């Protein structure tokens, strides 16, 4: 690990937040320079040269298997106020909705971006592209955050795939800043309202392995976005209704999203819209099976993206502060680089 030391100790400070129960550890100081001309170059640089910092901050004893983090970087897109890289137990995400919601509050509260009365609007450059953020304030305090992500589109519809232990199942694959495969709980022997999180995680992980082995995902614009981020298991309530519909996202190395998953909600709205189950501006409530927290989402605009029918989706939720941390590394610590217990 690169040495930024105080009396032979590595010191990194962070701000801790959560959105719908899903943590976001924001790096404040102590990281070395992240090099690269573009946001995807910076993401690759972290993979190649600074991945020990990810493990240091995400893994035990400072983190845990379900930890999630954000590293603010300089944007190379002139329309964006800041850039961000997202990290988790396995690597680096291309988009993170719960992270954007938390960062919306954070960058205004820290005056990284100066607030504008009761509503602040700015762009954050994520690895998937520019994301428009709307931060509401009430009585001088940041509150609800909404975002418009990059165009969301259906990649594969009703694809058959064989999964060990499940047999032949049907999945849809959708891009909403990241690629997700969707399945309905009852089709894979689950009930999100009754099944344990471990049961959901085990089946989600099995489907992830099968998709990665058998389907070659290609993003129309960038090889750096061409991979499956996770599996979203839903309750199948996709026709428009006012009541909440439940889902669970299993991503990275069997990591379970505690929130309803913001980029997953983006993708699920795009899927529902493509199937004519919802119309523009019809709001859906998405509920996490893990915490029962909710996001609100809707398709706001039809667009064409590299010849594909796509939509711009608005997702909204609330994030909260949970603390601040100062993490240390002592050179003589045999477990200083972090570890995970599977």
CB atoms within 10 A of CB 139: 6
* SS3 letters across 202-236: HHHHHHHHHHHHHCCCCCCCCHHHCCEEEEEEECC
- Give the whole-angstrom CA distance, residue 154 versus residue 180: 10
Q: Is residue 247 within 8 Å of 172, Cβ to Cβ?
A: no
Q: Is residue 226 within 8 Å of 306, Cβ to Cβ?
A: no
- Of 85, 83, 23, 75, the closest CA to residue 53 belongs to 85
Contacts for 213 with CB less than 8 Å, ≥ 6 apart: none
Of 46, 80, 96, 201, which is the active-site residue?
96
- Give the whole-angstrom CA distance, residue 2 versus residue 11: 11
CA distances from 128 to 44, 223, 324 (A): 13, 11, 28
248 in catalytic set: no
Active site residues: 96
């Amino acid at each position: 690990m690169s040495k930024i030391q105080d009396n032979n100790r590595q010191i990194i400070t962070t701000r801790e937040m959560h959105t719908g129960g899903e943590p976001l550890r924001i790096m404040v100081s102590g990281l070395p320079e992240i090099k690269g001309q573009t946001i995807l170059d910076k993401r690759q640089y972290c993979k190649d040269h600074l991945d020990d910092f990810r493990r240091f901050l995400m893994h035990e004893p400072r983190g845990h298997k379900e930890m999630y983090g954000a590293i603010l970087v300089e944007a190379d897109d002139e329309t964006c106020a800041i850039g961000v890289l997202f990290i988790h137990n396995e690597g680096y995400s291309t988009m993170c909705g719960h992270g954007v919601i938390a960062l919306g509050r954070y960058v205004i509260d820290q005056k990284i971006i100066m607030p504008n009365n009761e509503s602040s609007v700015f762009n954050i450059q994520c690895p998937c592209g520019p994301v428009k953020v709307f931060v509401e304030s009430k009585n001088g305090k940041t509150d609800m955050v909404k975002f418009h992500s990059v165009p969301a589109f259906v990649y594969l519809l009703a694809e058959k795939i064989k999964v060990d232990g499940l047999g032949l199942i049907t999945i849809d694959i959708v891009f909403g800043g990241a690629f997700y495969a969707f399945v309905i709980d009852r089709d894979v022997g689950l009930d999100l309202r009754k099944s344990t999180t471990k049961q959901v995680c085990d089946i989600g992980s099995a489907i992830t392995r099968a998709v990665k082995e058998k389907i070659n995902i290609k993003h129309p614009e960038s090889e750096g976005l061409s991979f499956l981020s996770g599996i979203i298991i839903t309750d199948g309530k996709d026709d428009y209704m006012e009541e909440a519909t439940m889902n669970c996202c299993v991503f990275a190395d069997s990591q379970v999203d505690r929130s309803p998953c913001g980029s997953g909600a983006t993708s699920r709205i795009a899927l529902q819209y493509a199937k004519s189950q919802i119309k523009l501006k019809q709001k859906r409530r998405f509920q996490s099976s893990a915490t029962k927290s909710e996001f609100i989402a809707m398709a706001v605009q039809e667009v064409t993206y590299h010849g594909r029918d796509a939509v711009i989706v608005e997702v909204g939720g609330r994030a909260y502060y949970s603390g601040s941390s100062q993490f240390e590394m002592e050179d003589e610590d045999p477990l200083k680089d972090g570890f995970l217990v599977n």
